Amino acid sequence: MSLDASSPVPVLAPGAGKTRTGRLWVYVRDGRPHGGEAPAAYFRYSPDRRGERPQTHLAGFTGHLHADAYSGFDALYDPRRQPGPIVEVGCWAHARRKLHDEVQSTRSPVAAEALKRIAVLYGVEALIRGRPPDERLRVRQEKSRPLLDSLRSWLETTLAKLSGKSDLARAMRYVLGHWEALYRYSGDGRLEIDNNAAERALRGAALGRKNWLFAGSDRGGERAAAVLSLMETAKLNGVDPQAYLADVIGRINAHPAKRLDELLPWHWHWQPPPGLSRPR
């Protein structure tokens, strides 16, 4: 299972005396909501946001991808893709964001009603977080699918009464236009209702960017992505990133190459040097 998001990052433009905009992409695996595999975050840097970038990052991947409706992902869902198509899973956080903006700007009661209905879907998710996939699927089929079907019917009926050029109508068309992908989570207990896991992983990168301001080059962006991958994966697994990196950097030269997996954040255990105790 993969969740995706991307964020701009300033990159120094040599000789220009200014920065240009690169991109940090993050792919997050997190099986904790259904009692599955340990979480991991994988960052990649690119000098632009062209659709070929995620296609390259995910060249050998098949499975489900939680993402927004960015058109650059479309080729990933092509049934002719090799080694196989990726299954699109929509993000309800992105869908509700457009409606939330409408409530904030116009106090629209119609948009507020839509948000209320979506909030009930999230309420179901809160009840089943951490439960096994089969139980999550059963509850979603029993509770979420009737709510989703009712929401779709209400959206279609309400949209027909609105001006087609209004922002509210556009927000509703976004939901209906991506309905199949947004509905898909309800049919698989391993899937999530949104890709917020990836959005949270990017927050660490955004906070760090306030300290290091920009990458010195594309190569620097790639190095930043590698370090962020380790730091965010450590945080996802409840490991102090500073302690983890300091320990692993000090041990890796003497660590057997065949046992490098022992140093992955979900396997790592701090080993104090002689005479030192574990930090508190």
The domain ranges of the chain are 2-90+195-231, 92-182
The stretches in the chain having pLDDT less than 70 are: 1, 207-213, 270-280
Q: Quote the pLDDT of residue 126.
A: 97
User: CB neighbours of 110 closer than 8 A, spacing ≥ 6?
Assistant: 158, 162, 168
* Arithmetic mean of pLDDT over the chain: 91
pLDDT value, residue 274: 55
How much is the pTM? 0.88
Q: How far apart are CA 111 and CA 118, in angstroms?
A: 11
Torsion (CA) 203, 208, 209, 211 in degrees, nearest 10: 150
